[in-house]
Structure formats: C-alpha cells, structure tokens
Chain A
C-alpha cells in the first residue's frame, strides 16, 4: 500500500486520501497559515487571518459530521484522526500542500437543498419527536436545575413555525421581530436561535415547487433572508458563516439528512438520532427549525388547496 505523501510545507499534516468540498474556492487556495480555533471530536475549526471576502472560518470535519459550507470533509476516518492529532497542539496549520491532490481525490459536493415532495406523515412525526423534549435534555435539565431561562433552547425552537407563517404571509414586520428574537439567542458558540432559522430556510428550499408554488416560496424566502444580513453582527462568527451560507442556499450535509427525512417517515428516527450528535444542541435546534417550518408550509398548502 502506498503512503500518502507528506505536505512539503507543514511536514506534519499529511495529504489525505480524499477530500470533500463544496463548489467554489477551495479552503486551501489562499496559501496562508490558518489559526487553529477549536479541535473537537468530529470537527477542527480553523480561522483564516486577514480574509475579507472569503469565509473567515474553515471547518475540517470527519465523515460523522459531514461537509459544512466553507469547509472540507475528510471522509476517511484515518485521515481525520491523523489531521486532528497533527493540529492538536499547533497554533496554526498550512493546508496549501493539499493543492497538489489529484483531481480524483477531491470530491465536489452540491450543498444546495433541492425541492422534494414533503410527506405529511413524515413532517408530523418529525414535529412530534422534536417536540417531545428530545433526549439531549438541555431544556429539561436547565429547568430542573432552575437555571436562567437563557439556558433553555426550547422556547426558541418553538418560534420556527411562527417565523415561517409570517414569511409565507409576507408579514415583514413580524418576520423582522422574530428574527431579532432568534438571531444570536442561546448560550453556546452557535446560538440555538440561529440554528432554528437555518432549519427553517432549509425546509422552505425543500418545499419550493412541491408543497409550495415556486413563486410563493421565493417570496417567503426573500422575506426571511432580507433581514438576515443586517442581523449578522448580532451573532457569533461561527454561526454567522452558516447563516450567510443559508441565505446563499448552501447547507451543511447534516441539514440535508433532515430535509430528506421530510419525505419519508421511516427516515425520521435515524435522522433525529444523527442530529443529536451534531454539536451540543445544534442538531436538535436545526431539526426544530426544519420541523416547525415544514409543518407551517403544509398547513399553508392545505389552506391554499381548500381555497382553490
């Protein structure tokens, strides 16, 4: 078995066998060291210093986490383990050596969520399971421990439906009000409210042209996304990047799993099980956004059919 060659620049971070990236500029194209911000079990967060137009953060993820916008995923478990180990005690890392990877080793992934038929049974199941105070237990534990309400994400999760209904009704004032409540709200590095919004936008994209007429979906999406740019400064850097990507129609692969679950009840439990592993509460926060928005879309769909 041949050995993967070693990066000539870092001499530590070996070339992976395969990389998944989204369409657009490669994360390693900027030929400058990236600062290591966070090393987790399934993701390493890097920061590109001095970047202005390109994304500020680059998430190098394992297969279990999947590709996220602006990042790259190392699907081979050994590649990610090796990379993670290599960066553990390093302040910076240089990925420019990855530019020498052969084209066949770089897999480009479409991170756009494309329209699909929503199954009412799947949506109802997702809403029910997400609403059953899911086993991540954060809200329940926060209440049990008498902690500050700020620590409880459940009230934020419940805003996905009202937000989507307001967008579908073209109620710009209500959309803006709800977005102000959601963006940046929640204790962690990726606030729960942001994840809820991302989930809601993803559900709208999934329903475009299927449960929702294309034009109506575009208008609702435009309402949601119109205010987001002005609210980006109200949240954390890590979350800001995901919100920008959502506005541009790009979603992390794990959001795709939830969108796919909207089409088949059998896909809902495994999708939720997987979601519980994404960050501390992020997976369930996004799932709540997807579920609440999809339910609102279907309600609207039924109302439209009745009135027709």
Chain B
C-alpha cells in the first residue's frame, strides 16, 4: 500500500437503495481518477466482515444494518473525500427523483428485458430520432406515448398506419398528456377514476376537461392523447379512430369525449359520422364550433364539453360565474390581454371572448414562437414573468387573463412566480393611475402534487380573481369590458 493511500467512509443513516443502484454508483465512482476501490453497501455484520477481510473496513466505524455505508480507498485522502462527496451526491440525486424507481430502462430493448412484459413505451427523444425509436417500440408490440415534437408528418403517417395495423396506440408525436389505465403520462392531472373517456388532439384541453369532470365528482376512465396533427387533413384522424374504437370497447367507459381544435372539414365529417355510430354517448368538443345537440353532442368550449359529458354520465357540472376572490367588479373600458401557458386554454379564451364580441390579444406562451431554446412555461413558469410585468406598464391593457396548469410534469410551484409578477404589474398600473384586473383559473385537481388549494391561495393573495374554469374566467373578463357574457347551455 502506498504511504499516502487513504481509506475514507461515510454512513448515511437509514437509507434504502437496491443492489443495482448501489453497484452502478460504485462502478461510476471507481472510474474517478485516483480512486482504487469503492464499496456501497448496507452496513450489516456480514457485509462488514467481507469489507474487513479485504481491508476495506474503516477503523472505529459505527453503523447499523439499516445504514448505508460508502467506503472509498484512493491514492490520497483528498481524492477519497471528493469521491465520497460525489457518491453521496449520487445517492441524493436518486433520492430526489420523484418516484425512486427500482428500474429505469433507457431503451426499448432495456425495457423489454426488465420485469414482466411491458405494454407501453414513452418516447421523449429529439424529434429526428423519435421515428426510429417509435418504430422499434411498435414492432415490439408496445403502445407508444411520443412526447417528442418536430417529427416529420410523413413519419407520423407511416408510423400511425403501422400502429393501426397492429392495433396499437401511437399517442403523438408531440403528445402532451395521457392517462392510460390510471397511469399518468406526460403532463397529466391526478383525476379520479370515472366513466368518461377522453380522446384528445389537444393537451391542455383534455387536462381542463379531466379536471372539471374530477371537480364535478365524475372522473375519467381513460385519456388518450393522439397528437395535435392527428385530425389534420394529412393524417386524417388515423389514431383518433383507433382510440375511439378502443374506448368504445372499454368496460369502464360509459361516455366518450373527443377534444380538438376544429379539424379539417373532410376529417370532421368522417369523425362525426364515426362518433354517431360508436354505440356510446359521445361529446365532440371542437373548439369554436357552434354548440349543437344532434346524434353527436357538439360543444365549442372545453367547459361546454365537460358539462355535456357530466350530464351524459348522470352528473352535473356547475360552474358559478362569481369569482371566489374579491375584486373590483366595475367595468373597465380598456383591452383584454391573455398570457397563457396552455395552448388550448388560450384558444378557448379566444372563443369565449369572440362569442361575447370582445376583441382581445390572447398569447399562447407555450407556442414554438416563444419557447425556442427554452423550457415550456408549464415547466418553467418564470418565462411568463416578463410579459406580465410589461402588461402592467401598458395603458391599453385593463384586464389580464392567465391560466395555471398543475399536474405531473408541470412546475412544482407555478403560482409563486406568477403571483409575484402580478403584484408588481398591478403596482405599476396603480402608480400610473390605472387598475389592472388580473383574472384566471387553475387547471388542476385536489390530487395534483402541487397542492391546488395552496396554489389558489398564492394567486388570490396577489389579487388574481379566480374562477373555477378557464371559460368562466374569460366570460368574467368579457363582462369587465362591458360585454354581455354568453354561457354554454349546461354551465348556466
């Protein structure tokens, strides 16, 4: 042994890690320059004895079987201590992972080799690589949730045809949300189980409906995202039709809702014809279309779609228009600006304001135009701070409309940066002798990890006038301009 060689140890009290995680950690630390040997084990007597026999047991070690022991032999003490610090950080990183998985496969082949036979793959690679991975998964007989965007439409068509032939779901590309057999994928809210299945070509649209149904005590059976282009003329609703077939056969599903921005006319005709023959009550929630009650119930807002579905499921969605926070109800005669993180929520606000005859500027800050090279604002809510601050300084803006989207995948605390920006923007407006009324809604459920009540409290304390739905918030904004709000039938 070299004279400077050192053996150093750290004991992490009552920490559990599986053997594969510990082996991976030890292997990684052992590759560091100057590190000779690493042990990462539970400090049981049997393990300590083996360490002792190999000269790896530190003297004066105090540890119990439920403690995790990290031991490093290195060329000198400094290297050993650095390696230990890195090892401990590695354990902490594992600890901070939300779910602390036993196994986390990185490729389709890995996933197939682990555990009992998997049924679904999540693909979240850069768009250029996604088609290859999706094809691998489909050929392996897996349903696919494809979060990746920038996938060429020709690949999307080819892969969706392949999926349809195999009767496999290809959710996406650019699919933001799904809940399949109770398992949330992508941005998904923790909605209670219930009888309504959603087939969605719009992510936050599906989330809003799921949350409204949850709040109404109805719940959802499945939420199948199909990707924003599925109902385009080019793709022709390939996956929407397969998903509809599947949820129609799903025993837990009594009512089906299709959510989308208005599809291409020919695709819409085929879709409505298909929906009429599904054999289960259906709501087509196609943003901006007039409400109608034919063989297929059509609603032009998310709130209207949720209310119709609730009614078909034997329940009721009641959306009072009174805000749950105090605010000046005096009409303001200045313009409405919407700063949204959810694209479909922004689209719904446009529909509601347009129906009320209010011209407004509604921005989807999650659009590619605003997110190039930065995270989506649902993940990084600070992206909305600057536009909100700027709104406070604009004399032409009297009403600011905002959304807040909770659930898996979304920021852990989206309310705080928005609330802080709102306080500053309102102060800026007040200093200029104006009132900026900020109106919004929270798309979330009581089961969401962020804590919906806490998030609401933060916004309310900042002066945001909160409504139970995005449509209700938009109606309130319209009313503030003096326009007469137009309610959807069921939500009145």
Contacts and interface: CB of A to CB of B under 8 A. Distances in A.
Nearest to A11: B446
Interface stretch (B190-198, B326-334, B391-399): B190-198
A1 B254 contact: yes
A235 B190 CA distance: 38
Interface residues of A, number: 65
Contact of A12 (B42, B219, B446): B446
A57 to B, nearest CB: 10
B436 interface: no
A148 B100 CA distance: 25
Given A78-B193, A89-B449, A188 B18 contact: yes
Contact of B42 (A4, A80, A148, A184): A184
B447 interface: yes
Nearest to B196: A1
B482 interface: no
A184 B47 CA distance: 7
Interface in A112-163: 135-136, 138, 141-142, 145-151, 153
A141 B23 contact: yes
Contacts of B27: 141, 145, 147
A236 interface: yes
A237 B102 CA distance: 18
Interface residues of B, number: 56
Contacts of B37: 148
Given A1-B194, A192-B19, A185 B182 contact: no
A267 B477 CA distance: 65
B26 A3 contact: no
A135 B56 CA distance: 29
Contacts of B98: 88-89
B10 to A, nearest CB: 15
Given A1-B254, A40-B99, A184-B45, A189 B18 contact: yes
B66 A236 contact: yes
B19 A280 contact: yes
Interface string B1-41: 00000000000000011111111001100100000011111
A169 interface: no
A41 B221 CA distance: 21
Interface stretch (A100-108, A175-183, A221-229, A300-308): A175-183
A14 interface: yes
B46 A185 contact: yes
A191 interface: yes
A1 to B, nearest CB: 4
A38 B344 CA distance: 37
B18 A184 contact: no
A255 B46 CA distance: 24
Interface of B: 16-23, 26-27, 30, 37-42, 44-47, 50-51, 54, 56, 65-66, 98-103, 113-116, 181-184, 190, 192-195, 217-219, 221, 252, 254, 408, 446-447, 449
Given A88-B98, A149-B54, 5 more contacts: A4-B192, A184-B46, A184-B65, A189-B16, A190-B18
**The 5 residue pairs across chains A and B that have the minimum distance between CB atoms:** A277-B115, A184-B44, A78-B182, A188-B19, A280-B18
